[in-house]
Structure 1
């Protein structure tokens, strides 16, 4: 069964997070996602705050750009959250937007190599291992977490192009896809994920999270077009139209659909209520 979630976009000021989390939890959502877009808000700090402000919400970070963060430090931060909020943290890794990585001097010549090395090292550390590796980018010597998670958490990887989508199937337990994902793109992604999993000898279900850019109310179509930059994905309309778009993604292989408001959504709390009270009953 496909679940419905929503997102706190980093275009919203940090001080609005408290009210947004309250609205999401009061509306009955089980899952909230946050982003780490340059140069807006920290994914770890925002996720930690959202977890502390809520009683039961699962909070996902979609995603941490790995060129910005040393893998040992990122894994320490992740492990702390996993221990503080067991079963409620969903952490995603990605190679980041290359232009942004270039702005801070962190652009990797081979982003996929970095992501692979990083994911493998983080998984081993979170499993309580003592890790020594001398990769092209990730270099660790006898590193072991003092407080690993009590249960090894699922690892999420964000992906866009075919090679990164396939890699997510190889090294991760779940894949995060962007709001540019149409049902046809999602079907292709599922095939690539399965290829990656087969190559790595992985079994079991692979969870796929897909964002759906959503606009409703006055000016919905115009706001969607302005935010979507010509992409074919996304939906503008009433609850029935939004629910139909969610169902199309579910049929194509989405396990979680994250309803993503436009960056200029005039009423974020109202959007949450719309999604929970009008869309969710139709799914």
Structure 2
């Protein structure tokens, strides 16, 4: 069964994060996904708070921008959170929005080189290895975590363009695809990921595909989705085009949208509410109903 997740956007006020997370868990949804946008809520801090306030739900960060943090610090943070909440943190990493990285003085001249060095080193540190490396961006001298995770922590990589999609297949334990990929772009994106996995000889390794998709329920849902996606530059002028990038409607319609994405190759479909969604708790309830329908497949 395709895993159904709910996204709590970083534009959500910090005071609302825990109540929403509890509503998502109460609805029976298995995963919550977050991400870091400058200069809103922090991904690791929000994930830690959610994990402490809930019992079962897994929390994905999709994603932590690699230029913002030294890889050793990221490894320490991830290992610490995993040690407190074993198996419940899904720490994704990405290039970060380049204009924001420039604002904070952390823009990399070669984001692909940084990602290759960072992902390889982070996975080694989380595996408990002692790492010495001298790269263009990542430089460590005999660094080893005192408290590495007791079990493997999988690190997915966010990707959009062809080169980054291939790289995600090479160096990631999965790929996180933003909403601009959508149902229409998912098959082609996964072909590029598969090329990267083949080039690295990793075809047999476990690998997960997380697809973000804008979604909504209740009166005016399609209009809200269309307005936001149009602002992002997507052509969603009619419902057929909108269905290539969004899912909306009642639980039955949402479940069917998730099925379509699952059939196209997504292992996890994370529903992203619009920034103006009027009732996020109600959306969580309907997603829970959709998950119940999916569990019967």
Scaled by the length of structure 2, what TM-score is found? 0.92
Instruction: Tell me the equivalent position of 2:217.
Output: 216
Q: Deviations over 1:56-111 (max 9, x none)?
A: 11111110000011111111001101111111110000000111111111111100
Q: Say whether the 8 Å CA contact 1:212–1:233 is kept in structure 2.
A: yes
- Matches of 2:269 and 2:248, distance apart in 1: 16
Q: Measured at CA, do residues 41 and 183 of structure 1 come closer, stay the same or move farther in structure 2, by a change above 3 Å?
A: same
The Cα of 1:282 is off from its aligned counterpart by 3.5
Q: Tell me the secondary structure at the aligned position of residue 155 of structure 1.
A: coil
Instruction: Tell me the equivalent position of 2:277.
Output: 265
Q: How many residues align?
A: 282
Q: Say whether the 8 Å CA contact 1:67–1:101 is kept in structure 2.
A: yes
Q: Tell me the secondary structure at the aligned position of residue 129 of structure 2.
A: coil
1:238 matched to 2:250: yes
Instruction: Tell me the equivalent position of 1:247.
Output: 259
Q: Tell me the secondary structure at the aligned position of residue 40 of structure 1.
A: coil
1:121-132 maps to which residues of 2 (within 5 A)? 121-132=121-132
Deviates more, 1:197-206 or 1:163-172: 197-206
1:35-114 maps to which residues of 2 (within 5 A)? 35-114=35-114
Instruction: Tell me the equivalent position of 2:205.
Output: 204
Instruction: List gaps (5 residues or longer) in structure 1.
Output: none
- Matches of 1:184 and 1:237, distance apart in 2: 19
- Matches of 1:78 and 1:22, distance apart in 2: 22
1:173 matched to 2:173: yes
1:275 matched to 2:293: no
The Cα of 1:259 is off from its aligned counterpart by 1.2
Q: Tell me the secondary structure at the aligned position of residue 151 of structure 1.
A: coil
Deviates more, 1:47-56 or 1:211-220: 211-220
Q: Measured at CA, do residues 225 and 184 of structure 1 come closer, stay the same or move farther in structure 2, by a change above 3 Å?
A: closer
The Cα of 1:214 is off from its aligned counterpart by 0.6
Q: Tell me the secondary structure at the aligned position of residue 241 of structure 1.
A: helix
Q: Say whether the 8 Å CA contact 1:184–1:252 is kept in structure 2.
A: no
- Matches of 2:197 and 2:178, distance apart in 1: 20
Superposed structure 1 runs of 4+ greater than 4 Å apart: none
- Matches of 1:91 and 1:251, distance apart in 2: 25
- Matches of 1:238 and 1:88, distance apart in 2: 29
The Cα of 1:260 is off from its aligned counterpart by 1.1
- Matches of 1:8 and 1:40, distance apart in 2: 12
Q: Deviations over 1:137-178 (max 9, x none)?
A: 111111111111111211111111111111111011111101
Q: Say whether the 8 Å CA contact 1:6–1:258 is kept in structure 2.
A: yes
Instruction: Tell me the equivalent position of 1:140.
Output: 140
Instruction: List gaps (5 residues or longer) in structure 2.
Output: 235-243
The Cα of 1:200 is off from its aligned counterpart by 0.8
Q: Say whether the 8 Å CA contact 2:119–2:171 is kept in structure 1.
A: yes
Q: Tell me the secondary structure at the aligned position of residue 59 of structure 1.
A: strand
- Matches of 2:183 and 2:27, distance apart in 1: 27
The Cα of 1:258 is off from its aligned counterpart by 0.6
- Matches of 1:97 and 1:52, distance apart in 2: 29
Q: Deviations over 1:211-256 (max 9, x none)?
A: 1101222221221122212425113333333222212111110000
